[in-house]
Amino acid sequence: MSSAVLLIHCPDKSGLVASVSDFLARYHGNILHFDQHVDAESQVFFMRAEWELDGFQLNKEEIGTQFELQIASRFDMKWELFFSEERPRMGLFVSQLSHCLFDILSRHEANELAVDIPFILSNHTSLEPVARRFEIPFFHVPNSKDIKQNAEKTILELVHLHKIDFMVLARYMQILSAEFVEQFPNRIINIHHSFLPAFPGAKPYHSAHQRGVKIIGATSHYVTSDLDAGPIIEQDIVRVTHKDSIDDLVLKGRDLEKLVLSRAIRHHINRKILVYGNKTVVF
Amino acid sequence: MSSAVLLIHCPDKSGLVASVSDFLARYHGNILHFDQHVDAESQVFFMRAEWELDGFQLNKEEIGTQFELQIASRFDMKWELFFSEERPRMGLFVSQLSHCLFDILSRHEANELAVDIPFILSNHTSLEPVARRFEIPFFHVPNSKDIKQNAEKTILELVHLHKIDFMVLARYMQILSAEFVEQFPNRIINIHHSFLPAFPGAKPYHSAHQRGVKIIGATSHYVTSDLDAGPIIEQDIVRVTHKDSIDDLVLKGRDLEKLVLSRAIRHHINRKILVYGNKTVVF
Amino acid sequence: MSSAVLLIHCPDKSGLVASVSDFLARYHGNILHFDQHVDAESQVFFMRAEWELDGFQLNKEEIGTQFELQIASRFDMKWELFFSEERPRMGLFVSQLSHCLFDILSRHEANELAVDIPFILSNHTSLEPVARRFEIPFFHVPNSKDIKQNAEKTILELVHLHKIDFMVLARYMQILSAEFVEQFPNRIINIHHSFLPAFPGAKPYHSAHQRGVKIIGATSHYVTSDLDAGPIIEQDIVRVTHKDSIDDLVLKGRDLEKLVLSRAIRHHINRKILVYGNKTVVF
Amino acid sequence: MSSAVLLIHCPDKSGLVASVSDFLARYHGNILHFDQHVDAESQVFFMRAEWELDGFQLNKEEIGTQFELQIASRFDMKWELFFSEERPRMGLFVSQLSHCLFDILSRHEANELAVDIPFILSNHTSLEPVARRFEIPFFHVPNSKDIKQNAEKTILELVHLHKIDFMVLARYMQILSAEFVEQFPNRIINIHHSFLPAFPGAKPYHSAHQRGVKIIGATSHYVTSDLDAGPIIEQDIVRVTHKDSIDDLVLKGRDLEKLVLSRAIRHHINRKILVYGNKTVVF
């Protein structure tokens, strides 16, 4: 089934729900999902509407133009339009740890993720065999503090060449520069292995062990130039006890990382996420 | 702030969202919450709309009439209308266990529950001092298999006399007859101390212990004439291990029962629940 | 049933388990629980042994002396001995929020907590009626930055006069001075309304809302002179979404605070907690 | 590091802990883990002791004989002895669903599971490419009600030929006969896609959807001749709402199945599980 998704935010006002739903009804759009939210503090209105394209009396090219003309312009709306038929293209960035990579690739193969994966990119070569096994192109782009500028230039070329829509840092251990990150707002998803804002930065499992917490977590967020401080998409946790060594935390944490990252990717692919300020609305 | 809530369900059709939101916009209703859901299997449409009464250009008496006339009749809608100012009246049924009773009364006193409690009713007298401490009338209505008919007659009189809107069985250990229950569809909330449909009936903690489960649960549901099989409102669980005796399960379970029952009561009071078939939509 | 509990920690060495279990077996102690843990990093051994006093061939006065003489001195053990018959005396500190107070008192009344509560102490008078309802002495000791020294002098006198074994800060909004706290190591339990180490200090729900986290938490810990940084006893969490306002977080958080604090109190009363460095072993 | 594990159960009696720990101390065994549990109802004692072999003054061949002679015979103990160096051999049974298979194989490749996998066996051929990719022998053994007897004969031969220690049914959709199952008590691990004892048998996600539960689960258990009723090893759950279709339940459930099954396998491999009656003690 072919559908369209509208993501909208604008200053809150009376009549917003009616205006958008009228627009869809006027062209005989059969609504599949219709979610709205008002942030009471900032008085911002958020909406996600998904409807069937089959039977809709505007063709794909006209929808955006007509929506802007008839509705968006009146309410000062920021909006995005997506079609379920157009699979986004996801660039996968990894380092040496395989668990998130395997998890994403096996979900992809089982048709859990409606996405194309034009390449896997790593600063090491150790996961190349995994990429080969799943028949996905693998690029080795060495990266480190000293050569970051050159590395990011190469990455940028690959991203453009392969028409990447969004990137996933699946335990990619390099920090991307502000210059790079700012070119892709809300288009780079990271998994951080702690319950943010607790334990940002390096070695969170060590810090968690030292602090003696009874629960550890993982956080998936959009990358901003502020390290581990971007808009949070999804978090989850697992209990630990004094019996758990750092190695146990790493092992338990891996399961969280896989779960949390894959949920975040799915929300992104399904166009369920609206970012406002430094927060997300996940419908 | 004074608001109105519409709960609607009807056969799914194009234009439902637009029609309801138009109706509200026409009279300058400022929407606070607007949730809809379509059950894909049964093709039933569900909606909950909440809007501010302040500035709404229909008075409270006209809203229902006009909504029926203009909208509901066209779409074969079943609907209910509630006003936030009208606090529902909740009858509390208990037996000898105090934990749910204390929990509800302390929440009530802390203004967590926008509800009036005209009475506490029990088949025992042991919790009368608790009722007295919170200054709520207490009725002792002995009940058991043999005298159920008379007991329920008394209960019915109390319910009508005190204009009870809905009842909460806060570990009330008696089974209400089908005749009684059928007079109050979706208006009697029970807490069952298991993860239904596992372990219905008596002594679920004993059964859970014997089965060796690693997780126990609690379930809050509307009471129907079918024991522990009514529409589920809320469930939650907690981990247990081989170390937990039946007494430990009872202790851990109490915390679940309190949480799950109080969430169900809050959803009911806030008019968040729609029942269809034997299932709930909780917006 | 009357039982004794030994809590032990010492440098790890071969033969520790055998020595302690031999000691208990020698006097015909029937072991109820026997837990041990070795912290691999610090090479510290922890043990909790609980056994029936009935039939044990040392009387209560001799146990400690003989254990020190025969076992502890050989292994450089730090140990504590407790008897189930001796109910600890718990001082309850509150401010204006009632939820934790009600929760603790109703658990106490339902015999969930084997503890005596000689007094409730508050820097406000608003919860005095609750104390009266449960027939527990209430002391109003005004406290604030400026008068802290005097207030703590009064508190200290009350603690000594009433032979308080440990204190529980059940949302007591005052910070106790280092001088005060250091007199009661591992004997003051606090509940902090965040998932520490995230959001220490004031207004954690506001901070959580602003950061846009998808999960909030509560943490119970022993109080040290380092604010919100003492050894963690218990933590738990609940999911939140963009729909949850700060008020919703406060409401959901209350349920966590009650649960987490009551579990910590129960662990403490049941002598399940060993503190080492800034971490806890909870058997 | 090379270690030994003793799993013991016997009628409860004084002196059990002392006897076993004395035995280990006598030969200078450095204890790594020492867990015991008494089932109060059945008066059965359970123990798991793990100690370093390095420096232990009995060689591997003598340990069992001496333990039986000196300790086990006196207390009527049932015991098993394992050595960490001897990796168990796991037979993997699958059908057409790939998620559990991918999960186990990627964990195996990342050294999360200290186990050998001599073969993957399926009643279909669709997952053969996955086996090939991980370079594990794949056997296609067609199976169905009518040919079960022959199929199980073939399976039995493969199990014996490859010296399989235990089998994992990773969403293997065939029911093994009582004759087969009874030859491998506590050596066949299954994953059932519901929160047992709720929804045993076929299509649990459909049943859960129809019942309108708010939480779904997965259960890993040892297979007995009684369908889905064997000793439970591990369970976990995830929240669902009215928004979740059956397909959504299937998708969410997959993540549970992977987690729960892998935890059960790890417990089994690490010799953490004792089965008594129809229940497990998982240390």
In order, the DSSP letters of D82-151 are EETTS--EEEEEE-S--HHHHHHHHHHHTT-S--EEEEEEESSSTTHHHHHHTT--EEE----GGGHHHH
- pLDDT score recorded for residue D40: 87
Considering only the beta carbons, identify the residue of B18, B19, B25 that sits closest to A14: B25
pLDDT in tens, A181-232: 999 999 999 999 999 999 999 999 999 999 999 999 999 999 999 999 999 9
What pLDDT shows up at residue B245?
95
Distances (CA, A) of D265 to C36, C89, D98, D110: 25, 46, 17, 15
**CB under 8 A, 24+ apart: contacts of D83-88:** D83/D2, D83/D3, D83/D4, D83/D5, D83/D53, D84/D1, D84/D2, D84/D3, D84/D4, D84/D5, D84/D114, D85/D2, D87/D114, D87/D115, D87/D116, D88/D115, D88/D116, D88/D165, D88/D166, D88/D268, D88/D269
Q: Rounded distance, CA C75 to CA C15, Å?
A: 10
From D281, D237, D283, select the one nearest D256 (Cα to Cα): D237
Q: What is the number of other CB atoms lying within 10 angstroms of the CB of residue D147?
A: 13
Assigned token pair, A134? 């799943």
φ, ψ at D20 (rounded to 5°): -70, -45
Residues C185 and C223: beta-carbon distance below 8 Å: no
Q: Do D25 and C34 touch (CB under 8 A)?
A: no
Read off the tokens for B262: 């109080």
Q: D14: which chain C residues are within 8 Å (Cβ-Cβ)?
A: 25, 28-31
In terms of Cβ atoms closer than 10 Å to its own Cβ (0-12, 13-18, 19+), residue D201 is exposed
Q: Which residues of D touch B39 (CB under 8 A)?
A: 242
Per-residue pLDDT of chain D (283 residues; tens, 9 = 90+): 899 999 999 999 989 999 999 999 999 999 999 999 999 889 999 999 999 999 999 999 999 999 999 999 999 999 999 999 999 999 999 999 999 999 999 999 999 999 999 999 999 999 999 999 999 999 999 999 999 999 999 999 999 999 999 999 999 999 999 999 999 999 999 999 999 999 999 999 999 999 999 999 999 999 999 999 999 999 999 999 999 999 999 999 999 999 999 999 999 999 999 999 999 999 9
ipTM: 0.95
- Cβ B91 vs Cβ B167: under 8 Å: yes
Distance, CA of C114 to CA of B244 (rounded, Å): 18
Give the pLDDT score at D27.
97
What stretch(es) of chain C map to CATH 3.40.50.170?
90-282
Which chain C residues contact residue B255 at CB under 8 A? 259, 262
C-alpha–C-alpha distance, residues B122 and B92, integer Å: 8
Distance from CA of B134 to the nearest CA of D (A): 33
For residue B69, give the DSSP letter. Answer: I
At D81, which amino acid appears? L
Q: How many contacts (CB atoms, under 8 Å) link A and C?
A: 79
Planar angle of CA D247, D250, D251, nearest 5 degrees: 90
The residue among A1, A8, A17 with the most chain B CBs within 10 A of its CB, best to mutate, is A17
Point out the catalytic residue in the list C54, C76, C116, C228: C228
Q: List all residues of chain A from 229 to 248 with a beta carbon under 8 Å from chain B.
A: 239
Nearest CA in chain D to B207: D197
A partners (3+ CB pairs within 8 A) are B, C, D
Give which of A203, A192, A212 is closest to A260, Cα–Cα.
Answer: A192
- What is the mean predicted confidence (pLDDT) over B213-242? 97
Nearest to C215 by CA among C163, C270, C253: C253
Asked if D84 and D5 touch (Cβ cutoff 8 Å), the reply is yes
Task: Compute the mean pLDDT over every residue in chain B, rounded to the nearest whole number.
Answer: 97
Nearest CA in chain D to B260: D214
Q: Say whether A215 and C195 touch across the interface (CB within 8 A).
A: yes
CA distance C20 to chain A (A): 21
pLDDT exceeds cutoff 90 at A126? yes
For B202-216, the DSSP string reads: S-HHHHHHHHT-SEE
What parts of chain C have a pLDDT lower than 70?
none
**Under a CB-based contact definition with an 8 Å cutoff, are residues B239 and A238 in contact?**
no
Reduced to 3 states (helix: H, G, I; strand: E, B; else coil), residue A133 is helix
Q: Find chains touching chain C: ≥3 CB pairs under 8 Å.
A: A, B, D
Mean pLDDT value of segment B181-187: 98
pLDDT attached to residue D16: 95
Q: DSSP character for D176?
A: P
Res B6: pLDDT: 98
- Residue B59's pLDDT band (boundaries 50, 70, 90)? very high
Q: Is it the case that residue A139 has pLDDT exceeding 90?
A: yes
- pLDDT tens for C212-267 read 999 999 999 999 999 999 999 999 999 999 999 999 999 999 999 999 999 999 99
- Looking at the partner chain, which of D211, D245, D278 has a beta carbon nearest the beta carbon of B212? D278
Residues of CATH 3.30.70.260 domain(s) within chain A?
Answer: 3-83
Q: pLDDT-derived band of residue B90, with 50, 70 and 90 as boundaries?
A: very high
Name the 3-class secondary structure at C224.
Answer: coil
B90-282 fold: Rossmann fold (3.40.50)
pLDDT digit string, tens, across residues A20-63? 999 999 999 999 999 999 998 899 999 999 999 999 999 999 99
Q: Do residues A195 and A215 lie in contact, with contact meaning Cβ atoms separated by under 8 Å?
A: yes
Quickly name the fold that domain B3-83 has: Alpha-Beta Plaits (3.30.70)
Picking from C14, C18, C31, the nearest residue to D22 by CB comes out as C18
Cα separations in angstroms, C126 against B4, B32, B56, C98, C247: 34, 34, 39, 9, 21
Which residue in A20, A25, A45, A279 sits closest to B31, CA to CA?
A45
Active-site positions of B read 228
Q: Is C213 on the interface with A (CB under 8 A)?
A: yes
Q: Which two three-digit tokens encode residue C2?
A: 């009357």
Measured CA to CA, the distance from residue D222 to residue D188 in angstroms comes to 6
Collapsing DSSP to helix, strand or coil, B158 comes out as helix
Q: Output the pLDDT for position A116.
A: 98
